[in-house]
Amino acid sequence: MLFNALLIALREIRRNLTRSFLTVIGIVIGVAAVVTMVTLGRGATQEIKQQISKMGSNLLILRPGQGWWNWGAPQFTIDDVEAIRDQVPGIRKLAPFVQTNASAVYQENDRNTDIRGTTPDYFDIGNWQIASGRIFTEDEVSEAAPVCVIGETIRKELFGEGVDPLGSKIRVKSMTLEVIGLTTIKGQGGFGEDMDDDITTPYTTVLRRLTGRGGGRNISQVMISGKDGYPGAHIVADVSSLMRERRKVSHNEQDNFNVFDSLQLADVISSSTKVMTSLLGAVAGVSLLVGGIGIMNIMLVSVTERTREIGIRLAIGARAREVLLQFLVEAVTLSCVGGITGIILAYALCDILADVVGAPFIFDPGINMIAFVFSAAIGILFGFMPARRAASLDPIEALRHE
Amino acid sequence: MNAEPLIELRGLTKTYGTGDAAFKALSGVDLDIHRGEFLAVMGPSGSGKSTLMNILGCLDSPTSGSYRFKNIEVQTLNQDQRSLIRRHALGFIFQGFNLLARTSALENVELPLLYRGYSRKQRHDLARQALASVGLPDKQRNTPAELSGGQQQRVAIARAIVTSPDTLFADEPTGNLDSKTTHEIMELLRHLNTDRGISIIMVTHEKDVAVYAKRHIHVLDGLIDQDSGS
């Protein structure tokens, strides 16, 4: 009986190709829209989270001034760094950070890049791995040793791809730095910057030999990594009150520094992408609904013809349940074909759009199920319900249906 | 003629609607039809002749009275059981042909066999034979839209006889056809009755169609008022 129903249903689908096609296309568009939007949205959220985690987990950055720009607010001293290390609980590691821009030269190649001065802990805080060689030591920091760790972009620009730079000497301004390490490739940062385009040296080296500002207020940032699970907000509060005290900020004055919390940023950004994803999902949901209404429309319009068809089938000896099974198989077949095509189309779209948007492509079985089940339910409901009514009629009434 | 009637109606009534709006289409019909008869049911519009035929054909159910078909009390059967009687014993020909649109003649004729669970080969063979026996051996692939009215009715007849039914019901089978085609169709029905022994019950209001039948009954106001006898 099922095989028969399948045979008859497939004949009916073939017989009414236009109607079948329109039904399927309604489902295809609805499913494809929802799956594409949600998949891309999830991908974007994931991408942003990854970008932020590249900066280092639990990362806090203490900077002078308010916001991103330093409007002449005083920088920090190395004593400030030690005070934070000693007095603020919940800190795993911290490192002073100074930065200058200079041209690095090796033989006839040169590259204008960031020169970063810091301590060995910086590599841990910033989640930097060493591909070859080593990082500099605390002793080298104390000695202001002329050593540096370079990123892949610097290696490529100064030495050429695949060339071992270890032991080579590069010139930056008037000093010569020995390359002792190469970091693994990090790629693009959260703001589209090249994270492999920098040279890292002991901060003492930068201060004494490059910027010529020995001692005093010369630390431009302090990188702080909180202990796992320790709330970043507590560290922010403790660092802030310590800094207000040390920098002699009175009650009625605003902070002349700020503490940036990467987790907080991650939360803000990911919650705003979530809002965007839901918004896109809602728009896509409307298209699924419109697709569904299209299916209803087509199904209801064909009720008259189908009622007569049911009458004919009943008259020549089909039982109501055989006719119903045929209609159910038809509706299920069309809905499934539409649903599966929609999902395939969605992935084709995601594949193309993922490159454009720059988000990774994350398969989410949940949204596929929801979109598929919803469209299938509409297709089956509106394919099946009119048939159910018609099949309950006396055959002669179904035949007379106008 | 077989002593046991094929069809036995006793006090059959059919009422449409309820209360004041109730309309009595049949008001107590008694009728015996035997195997091999070719019966023409005649009468003016609204006399109840189509209602009578629909009930005989198990397409409609009576309000009261008894209908025995081959000793089965049809009025006690449910819809599915009546479907099975139609499937195994009855064939139908309608005024409007009632073929499936956009479906080839062969597939239309195969339809009853599908519900009987015949194999693909059996279906094809029987459907081809049936189409050949109504004079359309070369129209298997044509859809109803590509056939003339007479050809469509021949396809419908092929569909009705492909299962070799005991009884064929024809509701104004020539109502939509010109007089030449009418006589071709009627010759075909007469041939099915005489050569293949299929009982035929035909509703018509045309006298020159009714002459092909061996027995005539006349229905008026829901009652049989004339019966030429078997």
Burial of A268 (0-12, 13-18, 19+ CB in 10 A): exposed
Secondary structure (DSSP) of B116-173: HT--HHHHHHHHHHHHHHTT-TT-TT--GGGS-HHHHHHHHHHHHHTT--SEEEEEST
Mean of per-residue pLDDT scores for chain A: 84
Residue type, A84: I
pLDDT tens-place string over residues A321-368: 888 888 888 888 888 888 899 999 988 888 888 777 777 777 778 888
Q: What Rg do the C-alpha atoms of chain A give, in angstroms? A: 33
pLDDT for position B144: 94
Average pLDDT over residues A229-236: 85
> Directed axis angle between helix B79-89 and helix A303-315, to 10°?
70
Tell the CATH topology of B38-58+79-227: Rossmann fold (3.40.50)
Cβ contacts (< 8 Å) between A319 and chain B: which residues? 79-80, 83-84
Average pLDDT over residues B51-72: 91
Residue burial A198-229, b: 16+ Cβ < 10 Å; e: rest: bbbbbbbbbbbbbbeeeeeebbbbbbbbbeee
Secondary structure (DSSP) of A350-370: HHHHHHHHT------HHHHHH
Range among A160-169, A329-338, A391-400, B184-193 rated most confident: B184-193
Biggest CA-to-CA distance, chain B: 55
Contact B208, B197 (CB under 8 A): no
For A314, the token pair is: 């009943």
pLDDT for position B1: 47
Round to whole Å and give the CA distance between A43 and A176.
44
| Between A56 and A315, the higher pLDDT residue | A315
Instruction: Give the B window 175-214 contacts with A, CB below 8 Å.
Output: none
How sure is the predictor about A213, in pLDDT bands with cuts at 50, 70 and 90?
A: low
Average pLDDT over residues B184-203: 93
Instruction: Give the B window 78-107 contacts with A, CB below 8 Å.
Output: 79-80, 83-84, 86-88, 90, 92, 94, 98-103, 107
Average pLDDT over residues A240-265: 84
Cβ contacts (< 8 Å) between A4 and chain B: which residues? 114-115, 117
Whether the CB of A396 is below 8 Å from some CB of chain B: the reply is yes
Break chain A into its structural domains and give their ranges. 2-52+267-400, 74-255
Q: What is the ipTM of this complex?
A: 0.92
Among A59-63, A103-107, A182-186, A285-289, where is mean pLDDT lowest? Answer: A285-289
**Is pLDDT above 50 for A71?**
yes
How sure is the predictor about A69, in pLDDT bands with cuts at 50, 70 and 90?
A: low
Strands B167-171 vs B90-93: parallel, antiparallel or unpaired: parallel
Average pLDDT over residues B18-47: 90
Query: Three-class SS of residue A314?
Result: helix
